[in-house]
Amino acid sequence: MRTFSVPERLGGFGALVALAATAWPAVTAGTWSLPCPLRTLTGIPCPACGLTTAAIAIVRGDLAGAFHANPLIFGLAAVTAATGPLVVLRAAGALKPPRPWSSPRRRQAGWIAGLLATASWLFQLHRLHTGPQL
Amino acid sequence: MTYPPSHSPYPTPGAYAPAVPSYASWIQRVGAYLVDALCVLPFSLLAAVLGQDTDLATGLVTYNAMFYVFTLIGVVVFGYNRWFQAGKTGQSWGRKALGLKLVGTGTGQPIGAGKAFLRDLAHVIDGIICYIGYLFPLWDAKRQTLADKIVNTVVTR
The interface predicted TM-score (ipTM) is 0.78
pLDDT band at A17 (very low <50, low <70, confident <90, very high): very high
Interface touch B14/A3, C-beta < 8 Å: yes
Percent of chain A past pLDDT 90, that is, above it, reads 59
- pLDDT (tens digit, 9 = 90+) per residue, A21-58? 998 877 776 656 667 788 888 888 888 888 888 999 99
Yes or no: say if A6 and B138 are a contact pair by the CB < 8 Å rule: yes
Residue A72 has pLDDT above 90, yes or no: yes
Interface contact flag, B1 A100, Cβ < 8 Å:
yes
Per-residue pLDDT at A130 exceeds 80: no
Contact (Cβ atoms closer than 8 angstroms) between residue B75 and residue B84: no
pLDDT tens, chain B, 157 aa long: 445 544 544 555 555 554 567 999 999 999 999 999 999 999 999 999 998 888 888 888 888 899 999 999 999 999 999 999 999 999 999 999 999 999 999 899 999 999 999 999 999 999 888 888 999 999 998 999 999 999 999 999 9
Query: A98 to chain B: which residues are within 8 Å by CB?
Result: 15-16
A70 vs A57: CA distance, rounded Å: 10
Interface of B with A in 11-50 (CB under 8 A): 11, 13-18, 25-27
A47 touching B (Cβ < 8 Å): yes
Q: List alpha helices for B51-135, DSSP H.
A: 65-79, 86-89, 93-98, 113-128
Cβ <8 Å between A9 and B129: no
Q: d(Cα B119, Cα B121) in Å, to the nearest integer?
A: 5
Query: Does A38 contact B128 at a Cβ distance shorter than 8 Å?
Result: yes
- Higher-confidence residue: A132 or B44? B44
What pLDDT is stored for residue B1 in this prediction?
47
Find out whether B136 and A113 touch, Cβ atoms under 8 Å. no
Size of interface A-B (CB pairs under 8 A): 62
Q: Is A34 in the B-facing interface, judged by CB distances under 8 Å?
A: yes
Tell me which chain A residues have a C-beta less than 8 angstroms from the C-beta of B2.
Answer: 100
Contact B144, B107 (CB under 8 A): no
pTM of the model: 0.79
| B14, B129, B130 member nearest A2 (Cβ) | B14
- Interface membership of A70 toward B (CB under 8 Å): no
**Closest to B16 (Cβ–Cβ): which among A38, A49, A98?**
A98
Q: Give helix A103-127 / helix A72-92 axis angle, nearest 10°.
A: 150
- pLDDT number for residue B15: 54
**A125, A70 contact by CB (below 8 A):** no
Longest CA pairwise span in chain B (Å) = 81
Residues contacting residue B75 through CB under 8 Å, at least 6 positions apart: none
State which amino acid sits at residue B82: R
B138 CB within 8 Å of a chain A CB = yes
Contact B15 A97 (CB under 8 A): yes
Contact across the interface for A96 and B25, Cβ inside 8 Å: no
